Amino acid sequence: MRKIELYDTTLRDGAQSEDVSFSVEDKLRIAEELDGLGIHFIEGGWPGSNPRDVEFFQKAKKLRLKNSSLAAFGSTHHASNKASDDPNIKSLLRSGAPVITIFGKSWDFHVSHALKISRAANLDLISNSVSYLKKRVTKVFFDAEHFFDGYKANPEYALLSLKAAAEGGADLLVLCDTNGGMLPQDIGEIVKSVALNFSVPVGIHAHNDSDCAVANSIMALESGASHVQGTINGLGERCGNANLVSIIPNLKLKLGYDCVSLQNTKKLKVVSRFVTEIANLRHFKRQPYVGDSAFAHKGGAHVNAVLKHSGTYEHIRPELVGNYRRVLVSDLAGKSNVLMKAKEYNLKIESDSPKIKNIVRELKELENQGFQYEGAEASFELLMKKQLRLHKKFFTLIGARVIIEKRKEGEEPISEATIMVEVGGKTEHTAATGNGPVNALDNALRKALEKFYPQLKDVKLLDYKVRVLTAGKGTSAKVRVLIESGDEEHKWGTVGVSENIIEASWQALVDSIEYKLLKG
Amino acid sequence: MRKIELYDTTLRDGAQSEDVSFSVEDKLRIAEELDGLGIHFIEGGWPGSNPRDVEFFQKAKKLRLKNSSLAAFGSTHHASNKASDDPNIKSLLRSGAPVITIFGKSWDFHVSHALKISRAANLDLISNSVSYLKKRVTKVFFDAEHFFDGYKANPEYALLSLKAAAEGGADLLVLCDTNGGMLPQDIGEIVKSVALNFSVPVGIHAHNDSDCAVANSIMALESGASHVQGTINGLGERCGNANLVSIIPNLKLKLGYDCVSLQNTKKLKVVSRFVTEIANLRHFKRQPYVGDSAFAHKGGAHVNAVLKHSGTYEHIRPELVGNYRRVLVSDLAGKSNVLMKAKEYNLKIESDSPKIKNIVRELKELENQGFQYEGAEASFELLMKKQLRLHKKFFTLIGARVIIEKRKEGEEPISEATIMVEVGGKTEHTAATGNGPVNALDNALRKALEKFYPQLKDVKLLDYKVRVLTAGKGTSAKVRVLIESGDEEHKWGTVGVSENIIEASWQALVDSIEYKLLKG
């Protein structure tokens, strides 16, 4: 089993993603997760470019990493400085990172147009910078920027830039597809010719602009490279970097390379979601291996087949990457899926019962209105229980009012909710404030009901999502609210849909409470 | 220039995506867009599987397609029927589509475990079905389900299944990576061996479970296939299908194949966004070629270089796919980007002015609070104008109140807003209702202001988005509201952030109105 080195640059290249901005604290937490996953090198930042990255390396000294070495990223020294006087080189050394990765130019066009120095001078910059650093840290990696474009334009010069780094003592020559436009066959051929020419190990750093970053990385590794750089979830500038969350299982589970342990591939989904949450993005449902849809089956025929033999429609066992199979509730699914869900919920229903038809009909009707049960299974379970007469009413709403009042520009408004409910002949009338109208309503409803149902005190609202459904209708658009609730043991999702966000939230809140009370 | 046939299955395989459900009307509109893009074949659905697809083919007869032929999808006839009696085959013919694509089994494991018939019987099913259909329609394509898995398990049998289809008269043999788990090198080798064995053209149908669908498709085309199947944006079950929006420019702009015209590649971004909107999804920012981030530059060094020579950090010219370059407002960008934006907005500011520092500082502060200007440039322009004292106040809020009242379970609540504003010493106090609290407030504010500023009558709210920012805080989480407004000439985006959705919406509404009034 050939060993492949994994180098993660989520904290540096990944932080260049549009919409992503990591705090130092975020970066430290991500570094710990990467270490837990068994990544060999973690590129923590570019200490010469911003104070946040300087602070990261300072604080990172306290991390107790078991598997990973930290790498600091920067450029070769500036043409007008000596390496020893160069502020960028100094900040790299001050970072205290045992590995330093520096990038240099390997495309002659960039040397003359961006650096505006001679080709020979650029080669000196590279070898000087590498050899100066090599005497002072454990490992120096050389990132050959625009290597593939450079090689296509002038292969001799591109190889000379690698030679300069190798002569300076570089431990690794990383071939970068900086613009991300390469296709797999080019990558394969070029990496092969480099690997034949150098005894220093070769790495690949791919971007996804032609939608081939994962394939390009695999192709490079199959063609002689032994080190791969990428980011969690493919975060990165423009179209992102090569996605390590896809590369790792491709290498380990399909090609049998030695990179992380089989125990660690099981962490991939968790790590992927963790980085998404920290970056405050949505997890991409169709993300290969770890997306929520990656092992979700919608069509009836597929569902039947997968339940018989998982290999029929699944390329790997989902557990291997910490994912799981899902059977989707959907208008394409029909009767057999409803029966399967009934079994899952422990509801007794004969397979020829007319109630199934009613459930399917109601489901379709509600889906047409914008309801969606894929993130709100508790609401679907309630829907089924209502049809099966297994539902009971725990309270009656007599009236509710929410008032939002703003008395001055620039001041947050006050939100107040009043509510009147009836439980078993007794009326409760109460009021509460909140950070916003939905929060106020939630507070008032709980206050009114906890008197009768003390078990509601255990329920917490964990997440609240709002989705505008009908684009192009301005503020009168329909919205769907998804609420995730939990008690000490379980989590459940509920849904509401209305043109009025308060009404949609109300529906989801009531479902959440009823679900809890039905569970007892 | 070798010609490649493009076959789109957005309306069939794409509709299997989780969260996607197309109406017949949606499908007809998408078909017209695909025709405009120059796609050769549009797979409209599986008429044997659901009434919606039957209706689609009925209504599609009225479409005036210029470039595309419609294809209907279905399976080989059932083992217990003759082809002429098979309901699936009948519904395919009833669809009236000139092209029929039928799938059959080429993996012996599926023949024995799913169909539960002999291997020879399966070959008969394939050739019978193809030859029966071939006499009745223009073209019959054979989709060899699980071809690559089948070939790896039993290459002889997999090839026999293709032979059966070829003998039946199939016009095309489509090799399907149904489970989506293949890697490019396998695809290349297997397609080569098939193309050598058959004179019938070969196609590729890839899924993205190993994150290589685009590369696998390209590899197949480079290895002898001449027909590629995929979907817009890679929609599809599990991790989706091969993304035609990436494949087309890779083929046309990079490999020089003849597939769509250069005029049509320019429509890619529009078509991609159109399908996203119809599917009611978010457009993926990092999507190769057409994503909003695909040519967005954040880092200062990149920005400078790209402005000098676009080839330095861009793999193609963005206009070629209907996209454009963007320079991002962001905390990593700093001074040079603020100056560039000032120029874009026609604001005079010296490059050494201390006001720039103030703008950068305020921007950072607001971004920390959750503001984001990447979809709300009008709010950013207002922020700059405020710092540059180019902003003027058009009205003062004296007070606003929104009341949402629900008097009965199952009834939509009533939303009413009252507002008092002052303009040039005059006070206006008015009220309005709406479909929800934000709509009511919007209506009341416009009603109050249109008296003083009649030009506001031209302004329409085009889109309204809500994003919950802080996960895990239930209904008291912070939300960001993005509003898109437009008049007859322009569109602009504004933003608001608060724990109170009404307040966040208020901020974005006010920015939108101020932006319009400042433009005059």
- This model of the complex carries an ipTM of 0.75
Chain B contact set for A287 (CB, 8 A): 239
| Largest CA-CA distance found in chain A, in angstroms, rounded | 91
Residue A164, classed as helix, strand or coil, is helix
Q: Which of residues 140-199 of A touch B (CB under 8 A)?
A: 178-181, 183-185
Nearest to B18 among A178, A293, A439 (CB): A293
What whole-number distance in Å separates Cα of residue A126 and Cα of residue B412?
69
CA A445 to chain centre: 35
pLDDT in tens, B411-443: 889 999 999 999 999 999 999 999 889 899 999
CA distance A289 to chain B (A): 7
DSSP string for B442-469: HHHHHHHHHTT-GGGGG-EEEEEEEEE-
Domain boundaries B5-260, corresponding CATH code:
3.20.20.70
Environment class of residue A93 by beta-carbon count within 10 Å: exposed (0-12), middle (13-18) or buried (19+)? middle
Contact residues on chain A for B407, CB-CB shorter than 8 A: 399
Task: Tell me the nearest-neighbour CA distance from B316 into chain A, angstroms.
Answer: 8
Interface probe, candidates A146, A212, A415, chain B, greatest B C-beta count within 10 A: A212
- Which token pair is A23? 């705090």
**Among partner residues A468, A483, A498, which is closest to B464 by beta-carbon distance?**
A468
Four-residue CA torsion sign, B324, B329, B333, B334: positive
Q: Is the pLDDT of residue A280 over 70?
A: no
Distance from CA of B290 to the nearest CA of A (A): 9
Q: Which H helix or E strand runs over B49?
A: none
Q: Over the stretch B479-515, which tens digit does the pLDDT of each residue have? A: 888 888 888 878 888 999 998 889 999 999 999 999 9
How many cross-chain Cβ pairs, A to B, lie less than 8 Å apart?
A: 377
User: How far is the alpha carbon of A359 from chain B, nearest alpha carbon, in Å?
Assistant: 18
Residues of chain B with C-beta less than 8 angstroms from the C-beta of A308: 113-114
Q: Which of B461, B469, B457 is nearest to B511 (CA)?
A: B461
Q: Which chain A residue lies closest to B419 (C-alpha atoms)? A: A406
Residue with tokens 């998408």: B30
CA A141 to CA A163: how far, in whole Å?
13
Beta bridge partners of A204: A175, A228
Average pLDDT over residues A140-168: 97
- Residue B243 pLDDT level (bands cut at 50, 70, 90): very high
User: Positive or negative CA dihedral for B420, B421, B424, B425?
Assistant: positive
Nearest to A290 by CA among B194, B239, B363, B243: B239
A374 falls in which pLDDT band (50, 70, 90)? low
- Alpha carbons B304 and B231: distance in angstroms, whole number: 36
Tens of pLDDT, residue by residue over A83-101, are 999 999 999 999 999 999 9
How many angstroms separate the CA of residue B103 from the nearest CA in chain A?
Answer: 13
**Quick check: B495 and B371 in contact, CB under 8 A?**
yes
On average, the pLDDT of chain B sits at 91
Which two three-digit tokens encode residue A300? 């009836």
- Burial bucket for residue A167 (CB in 10 Å: 0-12, 13-18, 19+): middle
Q: What pLDDT score does A58 carry?
A: 96
Q: Reply yes or no on whether the pLDDT at B299 is more than 70.
A: no
Residues from chain B contacting residue A109 (CB–CB below 8 Å): 311
- CA-nearest residue to B414 within chain A is A500
Query: What digits encode the pLDDT tens for the residues B56-83?
Result: 999 999 999 999 999 999 999 999 999 9
Of A181, A289, A468, which is closest to B316 when you measure between CB atoms?
Answer: A181
Rg of chain A (C-alpha set): 29
B286: left (phi over 0), alpha (psi -120 to 50) or beta: alpha
More confident site: B376 or A205:
A205
Q: Nearest 5°: CA angle at A374, between A373 and A378?
A: 55
Tell me if chain A has a CB within 8 Å of the CB of B442.
yes
Rounded to 10 degrees, what is the CA torsion of A164, A167, A172, A174? Answer: 10
Whole-number percent of chain B with pLDDT over 70? 95
The amino acid at B131: S
E strand residue ranges, B304-395:
326-327
Q: Scan residues 203-232 of B and list those with Cβ closer than 8 Å to A.
A: 208-212, 214-216, 218-219, 222
Structure tokens at A438: 């939905």
Question: How confident is residue B21, by pLDDT bands cut at 50, 70 and 90?
Answer: confident
CB contact under 8 A, B405 and A400: yes
Please report the beta strands in A291-377, taking only residues with DSSP state E, as ranges in sequence order: 296-297, 326-327
pLDDT over 50 (residue A200): yes
| A-chain residues near B215 (CB < 8 A) | 183-184, 211-212, 214-216, 219
- Distance, in Å, from the CA atom of B340 to the CA atom of B344, rounded to the nearest integer, reads 6
A189 close to A213: Cβ distance less than 8 angstroms? no
Q: Is the CB of B413 less than 8 angstroms away from the CB of A476?
A: no
Distance in angstroms (rounded) separating the CA atoms of residues B206 and B221: 12
pLDDT tens, residue by residue, B126-135: 999 999 999 9
Question: Is the Cβ–Cβ distance between B142 and B165 less than 8 Å?
Answer: yes
Between A321-335, A440-454, B256-270, the lowest mean confidence (pLDDT) is in: A321-335
Q: What average pLDDT is seen over chain A?
A: 91
Contact across the interface for B239 and A313, Cβ inside 8 Å: no
Q: Is B54 a residue whose pLDDT tops 50? A: yes
DSSP-assigned beta bridge partners for residue B461: B485
CB within 8 Å of chain A, chain B residues 102-131: 109-110, 113-114
Mutate to test the interface with B, among A404, A421, A483 (most CBs of B within 10 A): A404
User: Do A248 and A217 touch, CB atoms closer than 8 A?
Assistant: no
Largest separation between any pair of C-alpha atoms in chain B? 91
What is the model's pLDDT at position A332? 42
Of A180, A243, A413, the CB nearest to B315: A180
Closest by CA to A514, choosing from A423, A417, A395, is A395
Q: pTM of the prediction?
A: 0.76
Q: Residues of chain B with pLDDT > 90: what percent?
A: 67
**H or E segment to which residue A484 belongs:** strand A479-486
pLDDT of residue A55: 92
On whether any CB of chain A is under 8 Å from the CB of B233, the answer is: no
Partners of A312 on chain B (C-beta within 8 Å) are 110, 113-114
* Residue ranges covered by each domain of chain A: 5-260, 395-442
Interchain contact A256–B (C-beta under 8 A): no
CA dihedral B144, B150, B152, B157 (to 10 degrees): -90
Judged against a pLDDT cut of 60, whether residue A347 lies above it is answered with: yes
C-beta atoms of A181 and B254 within 8 A = yes
User: Which of B29, B210, B330, B393 should be substituted to probe chain A, the one whose Cβ sees the most A Cβ atoms within 10 Å?
Assistant: B210
- Would you place residue B8 in the very low, low, confident or very high pLDDT band (cuts 50, 70, 90)? very high
pLDDT of residue A300: 61
Report whether B208 contacts B242 (CB < 8 A): yes
**Quick one: pLDDT at residue B161?**
98
- Tell me the mean pLDDT in the region A192-203: 96
Q: What percent of chain A has pLDDT over 90?
A: 67
CB contact under 8 A, A293 and B403: no
Distance CA A125, CA A74 (A): 13
**Residues B254 and B30: beta-carbon distance below 8 Å:** no
Rounded distance, CA B94 to CA B75, Å? 15
pLDDT of res. B452 = 95
End-to-end, the C-alpha distance of chain B in Å comes to 53
Looking at residue A512, what is its pLDDT? 95
Residue A243: what are its φ and ψ, rounded to 5°? -90, 110
Query: Does B209 contact A505 at a Cβ distance shorter than 8 Å?
Result: no
Q: Which pLDDT score is estimated for B331?
A: 47
pLDDT surpasses 80 at B24: yes
Q: Is the pLDDT of residue A302 over 80?
A: no
